[in-house]
Structure 1
Amino acid sequence: MEYAVLGWPPDGPKLRLDYRQFSYAGKFVMSNTGKAVAREDQELLGALAFNEDRTDETTLWLRYVTVRGDRRGEGIGASLVSFVTEVAHERGYETVKIAVNNPFAYEAVWKAGFGYTGEQTGIAELVCAHPGTRTQARYQDGLDVYRAREGLSAEERSFLARKAAAQPPK
């Protein structure tokens, strides 16, 4: 697997993704965000858009992460998040943040080294940060937020039930 940053904000490149294969495809045609990709044998498998925090130049926000539909669940998203986070820290960003809206994304960013901050955005996303607090209690706190939500899919409910009292992923 090859990971690459294609450009940094505000002059990030536009990236055209097939909306049938990638969630959030339309978000990658904006030019004011940085972009990174995951490729295998020249084939695009994942993409990530990011930008600097508007009020804190030491913080980078990961905005959109998408993995091709037929390759989800293989750890590509978590690896891409980890790669961009490492590069961001090398560029001098002290903190990298991401807001996630479902328990699967929460699990993926935890695997990438993020911890739940205890904060939520106005659109029901949990804010996770790197570096961040990574205890079992904090991990379960984030899962509890999802458990309290209405309208979860059967797959989400099953996932959350399996994770009850579980240790955080490494």
Structure 2
Amino acid sequence: MTDDSPSRSFAFLGWPDDEPTLRLDYQRFSYAGKFVMTSTGKAVVRGPEHDMDDSRPDAGEYDRDVVAAVAFNEDRTDSETVWLRYVTVREDRRGEGLGPALVEFVVDRAHDAGYDRARIAVNNAYSYEALYRAGFGYTGRETGIAELVLEHPVPAGNDRDAHAAAYRDGLAVFADRDDLSAAERAFIAEKRERGPPR
């Protein structure tokens, strides 16, 4: 995936062996502390540096032009699979499609590097929907911390009915949770009715 937009550019910072690090503003990015670690590869979307808030005294400590980031590493038990560990988008840039676009960018690099599959675990219906838009599909598996495991390429392959059924099954798992807001319940109901994004 490429994006020639003047307001953003994609950068692959390296694989885990390259030990790339990022300093993300913990007040503007979820999981910011995970990107300081050297044990994962990293890729980012960069935006114009001038749109950062410079009013805070610690503003200069951070990678100021980053608007989205993803951390990833090879599966410990399957050398043909890369795991996307953390995807984060700066709070004022959410909803622009940066996360799914960055995920597609990393998946393309992983496939070019010889990985057959990419996996990610998601803990909410919004991320689930975004990853489906990036070409992932629900595997039917969950992690021990109530996250649904998604995979690229889609586990159902070209079987559209199986793909749609898996999509709805994943949303059903989220729908059964007790801690959902009214907005989340409405979102899940709408997506279950519609089926997977195209």
> Which digits, 9 at most, give the CA deviation of each residue in 1:41-78, with x for residues without a partner?
35211000000000111100000000000111111000
Task: Tell me the SS of whatever aligns to 2:193.
Answer: coil
Looking at structure 2, the residues matched to 150 and 14 of structure 1 have their Cα atoms a distance apart, in angstroms, of 37
Letter in 1 for 2:167: Y
The partner residue of 2:45 within 31, 35, 38 is 38
The partner residue of 1:26 within 25, 33, 46 is 33
Look up the match of 2:196: 168
Task: Tell me the SS of whatever aligns to 2:194.
Answer: coil
The partner residue of 2:102 within 68, 80, 91 is 80
Looking at structure 2, the residues matched to 169 and 100 of structure 1 have their Cα atoms a distance apart, in angstroms, of 17
TM-score (normalizing by structure 1): 0.96
Q: Comparing 109-118 with 7-16, which one deviates more in the overlay? A: 7-16
Letter in 1 for 2:71: A
The partner residue of 1:15 within 17, 22, 25 is 22
| Cα contact 1:51–1:63 (8 A) shared by 2 | yes
Task: Tell me the SS of whatever aligns to 2:22.
Answer: coil
Looking at structure 2, the residues matched to 10 and 104 of structure 1 have their Cα atoms a distance apart, in angstroms, of 31
Look up the match of 1:157: 185
Looking at structure 1, the residues matched to 79 and 104 of structure 2 have their Cα atoms a distance apart, in angstroms, of 20
Structure with greater strand share of residues: 1
The partner residue of 2:124 within 102, 122, 130 is 102
Alignment RMSD (CA, Å): 1.1
Q: Comparing 70-79 with 6-15, which one deviates more in the overlay? A: 6-15
Look up the match of 1:3: 10
Structure 1 unaligned blocks of 5 or more: none
Look up the match of 2:61: none
Structure 2 unaligned blocks of 5 or more: 1-7, 50-64
Look up the match of 1:146: 174
Q: Percent identity?
A: 60
Look up the match of 1:55: 77
TM-score (normalizing by structure 2): 0.83
